Amino acid sequence: MASTSRSSATWGRNRNAVRYDSKVTLGPISHTITVVLILLLLGFIYLTQSAKVASFDVGLAEANSEIANLEVQRDALAVENAKITAAASSEDTNEVAARMVEAHSSDFVTAH
């Protein structure tokens, strides 16, 4: 009883009694084509994701340039405000402020 034959070894515990052989098999060319298609799909996914990142970078660069332009305008307005404040505070001593006249009407110019 200690010795077992080869045929009884396949009927051991936790083994399938029936073996299914697939009639459809991939040849080397089909296998290569499948691998190439999978790699192309992965490459396409990578490119679409990197394009999204690039579009976010472009949007971020545009926002940063707009912020820089607004900071330049803010600084120019601060200088203009300082000039007007200086001219208005010393109207008697400032020659430019003394020659200023009060505006009576404000009309808008329309371009055609």
CA-based end-to-end distance of the chain: 111
Residue 47 pLDDT > 60: yes
Domain boundaries, the chain: 27-99
Is pLDDT at 45 greater than 90 in this prediction? yes
Q: Are 97 and 87 in contact (CB under 8 A)?
A: yes
pLDDT tens sequence across 64-102: 999 999 999 998 888 888 888 776 666 566 666 666 666
Tracing tokens 């396409």 back to the chain, one arrives at 44
With 50 as the cut, is the pLDDT of residue 1 above it?
Answer: no
Rounded-to-integer distance, Cα 15 and Cα 7, Å: 13
How far is residue 76's CA from residue 72's CA, in Å, rounded to a whole number?
Answer: 6
Q: How confident is the model at residue 36 (pLDDT cuts 50, 70, 90)?
A: very high
